[in-house]
Structure 1
Amino acid sequence: MAEKSNNTALKAIAIVLVVALIGLGFFAYSQYSENKKTEANLENQKTELKKELENYREELAAEKGTKDSLNMELDKAMAEIQVYIDSIGSLETSVANLEKFKGWAYSLRKQKEDLMARVDSLEKANKYITMQRDSTVTALDEQIVFSDSLVTQNTKLSDVVKMGAALNLAKLNIDAIKVRNSGKTKSVNKAKRADKIKVCFTVAPNKIATAEDKAFYIQVVDPNGTILGDNASSATVEEKEPILYSKVSNFYYENSTLDVCEYINKPGEEFPEGNYQVTLYDAQLNPLGTTDFTLD
């Protein structure tokens, strides 16, 4: 009876052990499967993390060369990211290491965001500077055009004023005269009787002209084409050829009508017979008037 009781106890123990072994095996298998799932999940996260870091590096590389002031910082950040990428590939996959990787990724993400924010800020500043520069260039161009227009208008106005201030003749009279011993003169028309040629002109009033000393050139050409009197050359005036003149008439002009007379002496014993031409020029060598007369 005692032996039968012992056998029963042994069977019970054996059954318990078998059940325990089965339970332990199931637990071990379950734990193995869970570890495999965790390891696969960690590998996936590790791959995603590596891909994210590579994307960061590419984004920073795309900004290189466009922002010289940030190139050194971009190079430094890219090198640091590459170190982390290499580290992820070489370190053992574990929860602890993955958490460490995530910490690196977060730090790099903040660093990238800071760099990109600075890049955006620089782009906005550069756009503003470019806009201001373009605006300044446009304003300067407009000012130059306006200034050129003013210069043109002032030049035209100056030309108009200059033309308006130019003196004109009201009359031009020529007369051959004989000088008596008493000093009195008499008009003659015979060449052999004439002692001088009298040139008289009247300057018209001009309120725009400046009151000052003026000079006119008198040119008397005899029938032979000879310039009588001084036969001297005038001063050079811009864009005009000098002229040969018989006499310079100097007078002071005060904006009102002015009568002036000048005398041209005969060239030798007597004036030649024929037609004489007289022309009057102002100081700018502009012809003011011309007339002719004949000595018999």
Structure 2
Amino acid sequence: MAEQYRSNIGFKIVIAFLVVLLLGSLAYTYNVIKDSNEIEKVLISEKDAVLKDLAISKDSLDGAIASNSILSIELINERDRVEKLIKDFQNSDIDAISAMKYKNDAINLKNKVSSLLKEVKELKDQNRILTQERDNAVVILDEAKKSFDNLQDKNYKMAETLEKASKLTVLNLLVESFAKKNSGKLVATDKARKTDIFKISYTIAENLVSKPITKNYFVQVVDNNNNVLGDMKIENFGDKSLTYSFVSAINFENQTLQMTKELKVENLTSGTYLVNIYDKGELLVKTSISLR
């Protein structure tokens, strides 16, 4: 009986020991599972944080690329690396080693992206300064051009004014008819059949603006039948032609100049005779005389 009792006590002790072992094992297993779940949560959190940082880097690169930066090729390469890392990380199993690896890669990429974006900003700042300087230069050049155009316009107007002011003025055009005696004496007459000489005189007014000049005036005397008397030579001026009686050569030196020319005529008939003075093809002054 005593032996059976001792056997029961031993059995109960074994059972109690096994129960303790079981409870310990369950507790250990629970703690392991709990720690594993905590680690998984941490890894998932870190993965999400890394992916978020990578997404921010990608968006920043997309924005920089869209700005047509001169670093666009480098930016595109880095964006491709970020996209590849995001894809690889999303498809990878979560464990401490891989999480650390991707985290380090993400940090390196983030630093490289930050460096590139900083360079892009510096280039944009430089470009903004250069653009502002260019715009200022354009404004200055535009103002200078306006001033030049205004000055040039004034010069043109001044040149036109000087040209007009320097133009010689022909005044007091007078034609007189004379009969010439055998002695050579000229006697005024208003009879056509007795007229042998037309004396044509005119004055060139003083002009201190004009430069001293030598030029020709073309004098035209026309009878009442529209015939040109005298030399009846023809001179062309562009698309115009002029038949004239004689050329009056002048040598003007700023002072008033009196010009007189005698034109021999014959067989005149009664009527009105016109006298015109031309500067090339431009009519300067005219007058007339009537003979009976």
What is the TM-score with the length of structure 2 in the denominator? 0.86
Q: Is the 8 A contact 2:277 2:286 kept in 1?
A: yes
Residue aligned with 2:288, SS: strand
**What amino acid maps onto 1:76 in structure 2?**
N
- 1:190 partnered with 2:191: yes
**What amino acid maps onto 2:213 in structure 1?**
E
Deviation at residue 101 of structure 1 after TM alignment: 1.7
Match in the other structure for 2:263: 264
Match in the other structure for 1:274: 271
Q: Is the 8 A contact 1:167 1:209 kept in 2?
A: yes
Cα RMSD between the aligned structures? Answer: 2.8
**What amino acid maps onto 1:183 in structure 2?**
G
Percent identical: 27
Moved more, 128-137 or 33-42: 128-137
Deviation at residue 62 of structure 1 after TM alignment: 3.5
Match in the other structure for 1:293: 289
Match in the other structure for 1:247: 246
Q: Is the 8 A contact 2:240 2:281 kept in 1?
A: no
CA distance in 1, matches of 2:170, 2:51: 101
CA distance in 1, matches of 2:197, 2:66: 93
CA distance in 2, matches of 1:91, 1:255: 105
CA distance in 2, matches of 1:66, 1:232: 79
Match in the other structure for 2:35: 34
**What amino acid maps onto 2:23 in structure 1?**
I
Deviation at residue 5 of structure 1 after TM alignment: 8.0
Deviations 1:229-280 (A, max 9, x none): 223334426xx944432221002111112111112222xx412211112122
- 1:98 partnered with 2:99: yes
Seen in structure 2, the aligned counterparts of structure 1 residues 89 and 13 have a Cα distance that, compared at 3 Å, is same
Moved more, 64-73 or 212-221: 64-73
Q: Is the 8 A contact 1:232 1:246 kept in 2?
A: yes
Q: Is the 8 A contact 1:214 1:283 kept in 2?
A: no
Q: Is the 8 A contact 1:164 1:208 kept in 2?
A: yes
Moved more, 104-113 or 46-55: 46-55
Match in the other structure for 2:109: 108
Match in the other structure for 2:224: 223
Deviation at residue 9 of structure 1 after TM alignment: 7.5
- Name structure 1 gaps, 5 residues minimum: none
Deviation at residue 20 of structure 1 after TM alignment: 4.4
CA distance in 1, matches of 2:167, 2:62: 76
Q: Is the 8 A contact 2:192 2:269 kept in 1?
A: yes
Matches within 5 A, 1:154-233: 154-233=155-234
Q: Is the 8 A contact 2:173 2:287 kept in 1?
A: yes
CA distance in 2, matches of 1:97, 1:207: 102
CA distance in 1, matches of 2:283, 2:153: 24
Deviation at residue 216 of structure 1 after TM alignment: 1.7
Q: Is the 8 A contact 2:222 2:274 kept in 1?
A: yes
Deviations 1:149-186 (A, max 9, x none): 22221121111111111112342221112333443322
Moved more, 225-234 or 108-117: 225-234
